[in-house]
């Protein structure tokens, strides 16, 4: 019986995109799989190891394997995640990511895992076929509705650019909802899909090739909430869609020492702080950023805003409206780096969360 149980355990490799909004959900999933006795090899750049190892609840089963990021001309030296670069340089980061192909290939050839879980490394399915005996799962951390609207449409950039606003908001054929749809302003933002994201590949191609070539698609949700969209994806891509559930980490109880967050939050009454955070790829225009912070000022509530520097600026501070810092003083804290969201949300002072 013991031998049979041991034989049922899986060897899994995790290879997520180089953004903490991807790395952390993959680590949370790794913990859930390790809890069930499966062995995980987690591929990541060395600078991300320090942050991720704190979240590793099963170090006897989850091994963090550090990859060497090749330097790409135009990238700052030492840049290894989206937290290290402005949005304008993420395509170069994706190029460096793809140039780890050889190192990843050698690792998989030596390990011969049962599965590789990936998202942005669209070349993983072909690589797994070349090596043989490895199944691939494209694990999506974004909403299935977003995936459906964004990827199940024409891949031709000229078709998109020539489309009218009414055509852009129209959902793809057989899309299962009349209410979860795009507004015109949102539909226009889909143009980012056709921007280069790595050498010779667009964001659209990177995302869709991975989903098309994998053996199965994984989703960070549950059937009861988004089952109709997942069924739609399964039909369109003709492969199984597997649910992991939300897979959230347990909030830690320790103090928020980074950036003096603990001391800052303790200044305010329970439930009074507005916390706003956008993902690292969400880059606002300067005007949008200014309207956002002016809106928080008008609430007259303390606020914590975590956002990348707006387009065309080097820092959030230089983009602030005139006189804003003097008016708000210590009531508003604006950061342009990664913060521990769960720990902030669990703090007694936080009463409202704003995100995209």
pTM of the predicted model, to two decimals?
0.82
Q: How many CA atoms lie within 13 A of 118 on its CB side?
A: 30
Q: Is 116 helix (H, G, I), strand (E, B) or coil?
A: strand
pLDDT digits (tens, 9 = 90+) for 180-191: 888 888 888 888
pLDDT attached to residue 222: 95
pLDDT digits (tens, 9 = 90+) for 271-308: 999 999 987 667 788 999 999 999 999 999 999 999 98
Domains (range + CATH), the chain: 2-243 (3.40.50.2000), 258-354 (3.40.50.2000)
Read off the pLDDT band of 6 (50, 70, 90).
low
Active site residues: 22, 119
Residue 1 pLDDT more than 60?
A: no
pLDDT attached to residue 280: 67
Read off the pLDDT band of 339 (50, 70, 90).
confident
If phi > 0 it is left, if psi is from -120 to 50 it is alpha, else beta; for residue 271 that is left
Rounded Cα distance, 249 and 24, in Å: 9
pLDDT attached to residue 50: 86
Q: How far apart are the first and last CA of the chain?
A: 49
Q: How is 231-288 classified by DSSP, letter by letter?
A: HHHHHHHTS-EEE----PPPPP-S---GGGHHHHHHTS-TT-EEEEE--TT----HHH
Residue 350 pLDDT more than 90?
A: yes
Which H/E stretch holds residue 303?
strand 303-306
Residue 2 pLDDT more than 70?
A: no
Rounded Cα distance, 293 and 289, in Å: 6
pLDDT mean across residues, the chain: 90
């Amino acid at each position: 019986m013991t031998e049979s149980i041991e034989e049922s355990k899986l060897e899994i490799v995790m290879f997520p995109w180089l953004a903490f909004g991807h790395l952390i959900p993959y680590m949370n999933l790794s913990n859930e799989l390790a809890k069930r006795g499966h062995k995980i090899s987690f591929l990541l750049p060395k600078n991300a190891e320090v942050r991720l190892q704190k979240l590793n609840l099963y170090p006897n089963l989850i091994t963090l394997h550090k990859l060497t990021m090749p330097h790409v001309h135009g990238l700052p030296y030492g840049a290894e995640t989206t937290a290290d670069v402005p949005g304008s340089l993420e395509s170069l980061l994706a190029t460096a990511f793809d140039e780890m192909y050889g190192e990843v290939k050698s690792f998989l050839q030596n390990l011969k895992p049962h599965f590789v879980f990936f998202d942005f490394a669209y070349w993983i399915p072909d690589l797994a076929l070349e090596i043989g005996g490895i199944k691939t799962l494209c694990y999506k951390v974004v909403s299935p509705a977003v995936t459906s609207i964004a990827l199940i449409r024409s891949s031709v950039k000229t078709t998109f650019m020539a489309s009218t606003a009414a055509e852009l908001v129209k959902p793809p054929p057989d899309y299962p909802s009349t209410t979860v749809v795009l507004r015109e302003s949102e539909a226009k933002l889909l143009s980012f899909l056709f921007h280069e994201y790595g050498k010779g590949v667009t964001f659209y191609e990177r995302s869709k090739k991975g989903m098309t070539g994998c053996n199965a698609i994984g989703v960070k949700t549950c059937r009861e909430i988004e089952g109709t969209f997942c069924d739609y994806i399964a039909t369109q891509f003709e492969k199984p869609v597997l649910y992991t559930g939300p897979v959230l980490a347990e909030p830690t109880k320790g103090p928020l020492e980074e950036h003096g967050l603990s001391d800052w939050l303790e200044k305010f009454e329970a439930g009074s702080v507005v916390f706003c955070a956008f993902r690292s790829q969400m880059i606002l225009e300067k005007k949008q950023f200014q309207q956002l912070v002016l809106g928080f000022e008008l609430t007259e509530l303390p606020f914590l805003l975590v956002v990348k520097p707006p387009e065309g600026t080097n820092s959030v501070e230089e983009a602030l409206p005139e006189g804003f810092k003097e008016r708000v003083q210590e009531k508003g804290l604006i950061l342009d780096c990664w913060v521990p969201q769960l720990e902030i949300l669990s703090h007694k002072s936080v009463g409202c969360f704003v995100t995209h």
